[in-house]
Chains A and B, each alone.
Chain A
């Protein structure tokens, strides 16, 4: 008697020994080396790694849409058992139409700006031979599948009229419409807010359960991979250095790079005064550098002569796990790069605030004469030596608040900004040099914040002249001291920003801000543009500088993990209103505002367990037309049934010492449940 085996089709995706090279100035630069992995039917596989590791190149190679200078130099790719390498143009087109779909990082740019959304979705069906009318109907049905509430309206809209989350749903609808063999998601949520990200990830999980599509997820975010993938491949310098089931790889990593990567990310429960983040020293090898030995050897704390001279084998660790390393058993003993010495107990003093904002509002005139309320009646204080975290979704007023603080945007009349106990001018031009010195800012994107034509020395010297009024040798010494304090070397001084990596540029921006020894540094998403290992280094640097210089930070970030790690107190903004304000521990532990609760539950974590997701209804209302009563009532899951929330603006109540919540709910009814 023979066993009846389940019908097994070919794998959704098979990649073997794939090499891809980009031709740059007439020379082939190998970008992918010997990449190989399989994705079974109904399986979801994640590729994770820092920028430049070859994740997106892999995705583009699979859809045979490499940039014009890119070329598959060796290897084999097949989708659903069909060999991609031997396909002609027409075959390839049909394969794309029927078997491979792709969702991209930036939904705003993925759709044609001058064609209505409905038409663009309908195209997918027209390719497969549907008539115009039928294609439209099926497009509308597809939009309904991705839970778009009003598909008729969305069909008639142009892309710029829809939000990022909505557009990503549209793109996903197009992608799954034809029930493809393989769905590729390339950083599908990177451009989205935490709450929208959670919705999109839920949607993908739901659709997978419904259709059983095989999925390839590409992300730099380990937590996103942990949330949606069965198996994961960790990429470094164009190679998959480790792969296996997600839970095993993340809980028991066997490659030093995976270990390092996991140590860079602030985990739930980690705080600056309890844990140090580790970093990965050095830089990615340049593709043109000759490779002898292990690609990771130059950055690996375990590397010895063998690693530097011989290429490590792909070691089979059983249960589908492999690691390309000589020392898979010792990987977890990777020595720490940063000292484990913790910051001494913070010297935060809560007596006299450095900055006090009272009744700060900012109203912008809209294009049609309406008033856009970016910031409404904000009161807050910043104390010496503390970190005040500011969180909220995009458009909540985080950046407006930063700009009002440093005087780049004048607040509405009646707003009070006090620096060191004295009312400061509304804009920087009206502030005294001393006020300017005390309050500095670091922006998200160091590329545009630093003058490209100035050397590092000049950038820092200018700040010293302006704020410290130093001269001659003393100034020279101070420049070197500051550069050293952000862990850069004197050899960086003559360089221009273009010659530095993203992490180094951000260090220059931080060094510039520190030049005048400020008391308060406003950091507007300072690590959002950086890779996790670089982010860890910058966060460590900020912690060290805070301890040494006794500076206070106003730290703005959409990344709650980072804010949780760094902040002593937290402000939660929604539609320009402060919803919650208090010590970090109690904001995270609760009881909290229903919005904070939803925001916290939306963040994916590397650990399998997290709080149950609180779903927010609908989209963020327009700040030009905010809802009456409590601005959050339209999306609140704990809204009172008597109509109070719809009509009365809730008071800002102190529910615990130092902790304020703007909500009608009695304290015992707020979360956590």
Chain B
């Protein structure tokens, strides 16, 4: 840390005297563990630290950026969840047939393409060639909901690609399991129409593990925004962390990672809270 500061100070042509003042004020003469304690004990008080880069409290940048990221993630989610569940269920219903092969292969292929590849391809095709969507993700300030959505569409698609394969695979697996279960046989042999069998007996049970997966993916998504936001120049959390990393703005970096962890935790907690609502076996455990 000292060497790093000295390097920066030397570049700026500061005198040793000035440097020592900065070091003292920034608290960077203390041992690492103590510095860490100072930082972490500030968090419960709402003090996430002070950005080196912006010379301002981290939180004044972090939370607006988190809001922006959540907006982008939400758009991606609204697209990917219904699409991938539908894809997975259709693949399960036609398992082994062409529809299944197409959906499964597409899902696998898309999820292996990194966001920076699919993102660039999308930009080239839709923004540069066809010019139907804007290159940048950030809508001009004060624009309405529809314009904002239009700007968010392109950056959301690489995220959709990455998640589609995974969620569709889960949905397919759990739907196949339900379809081949004894209780679905019971329902079909009762003479229920196929539509009722699928909606009432299959989906109800197959969506349970899928929803859990979806909720945990929410956390993954927020963490995975770094590439997309940088690529599309979107002022979100990922971008903030990327910049902080480049600028060696440690307090910002630390706080950003912490927030992602918190989002991940919340998403998983949410998943655990939804499970008993859907599954009476968990909800009524020992309640009889």
Contact = CB atoms under 8 A, between A and B. Distances in A.
Contacts of B96: 68
B252 to A, nearest CB: 46
Nearest to B180: A67
A80 B183 CA distance: 26
B189 A96 contact: yes
A110 B286 CA distance: 22
B191 A96 contact: yes
Contacts of B280: 113-114, 158, 160
Contacts of A174: 186, 190
Interface string B184-196: 1111111111100
B200 A104 contact: no
Contacts of A100: 189
A63 B189 contact: yes
Contacts of B200: 115
Nearest to B202: A112
Nearest to B280: A158
Interface string B226-250: 0000000000000000000000000
Contacts of A94: 191
Interface in B155-197: 181-194
Contacts of A171: 186
A158 B201 CA distance: 14
A338 interface: no
B205 interface: yes
A467 B200 CA distance: 56
A607 to B, nearest CB: 34
Interface string A165-178: 00000010010000
A367 interface: yes
Interface in A422-472: none
Interface string A32-61: 000000000000000000000000000000
Interface in A114-166: 114-115, 123-124, 127, 157-158, 160-161
Interface residues of B, number: 29
B285 A367 contact: yes
Interface in A87-113: 89, 93-98, 100-102, 104, 106, 109-113
Contact of B193 (A93, A158, A368): A93
A113 B281 contact: yes
A53 to B, nearest CB: 21
A114 B189 contact: no
A114 B204 contact: yes
A666 B193 CA distance: 61
A63 B185 CA distance: 10
A149 to B, nearest CB: 16
Contact of B205 (A93, A110, A112, A123): A112
A336 interface: no
Chain A's interface size range is 20 to 34
Contacts of B189: 63, 65, 96, 100-102
A162 B190 CA distance: 21
Given A93-B193, A100-B189, A114 B278 contact: yes
B279 interface: yes
A115 B204 contact: yes
Contacts of A123: 187, 190, 192
B182 A110 contact: yes
B183 to A, nearest CB: 4
Contacts of B281: 113-114, 158, 160
A112 B286 contact: no
Nearest to B205: A114
Given A110-B186, A112-B201, A93 B191 contact: yes
Interface in B137-171: none
A112 B191 contact: no
Contact of A112 (B183, B193, B285, B288): B183
B284 interface: yes
A96 B182 contact: no
Interface in A238-296: none
Nearest to A368: B286
A113 B288 CA distance: 15
B208 to A, nearest CB: 8
A368 B288 CA distance: 11
Interface string A488-513: 00000000000000000000000000
Given A96-B188, A104-B186, A115-B200, A109 B181 contact: yes
B116 to A, nearest CB: 41
Contacts of B186: 102, 104, 110-112, 171, 174
Given A97-B190, A114-B278, A161 B205 contact: no
A101 B189 CA distance: 7
Nearest to A366: B286
A110 B183 contact: yes
Interface centre among B96, B189, B192, B194, by most A CB within 10 Å? B189
A113 B191 contact: no
A108 to B, nearest CB: 9
B85 to A, nearest CB: 17
A584 B20 CA distance: 94
Contact of A161 (B193, B194, B278, B284): B284
A65 B188 contact: yes
A109 B205 contact: no
Contacts of B285: 367
Contacts of A104: 182, 185-186
Contact of B288 (A93, A98, A106, A161): A161
Contacts of A111: 183, 186
Nearest to A370: B286
20 contacts: A65-B185, A68-B95, A89-B194, A93-B193, A95-B191, A97-B192, A100-B189, A102-B189, A104-B182, A109-B182, A110-B183, A112-B186, A112-B201, A113-B205, A115-B200, A115-B201, A123-B187, A171-B186, A174-B190, A367-B285
Given A93-B191, A97-B191, 11 more contacts: A95-B191, A96-B191, A106-B182, A111-B183, A112-B201, A113-B281, A114-B205, A114-B281, A123-B190, A157-B288, A160-B281
Q: Sort A-B residue pairs by CB-CB distance and give the 4 closest, nearest first.
A: A97-B191, A96-B191, A109-B182, A367-B286
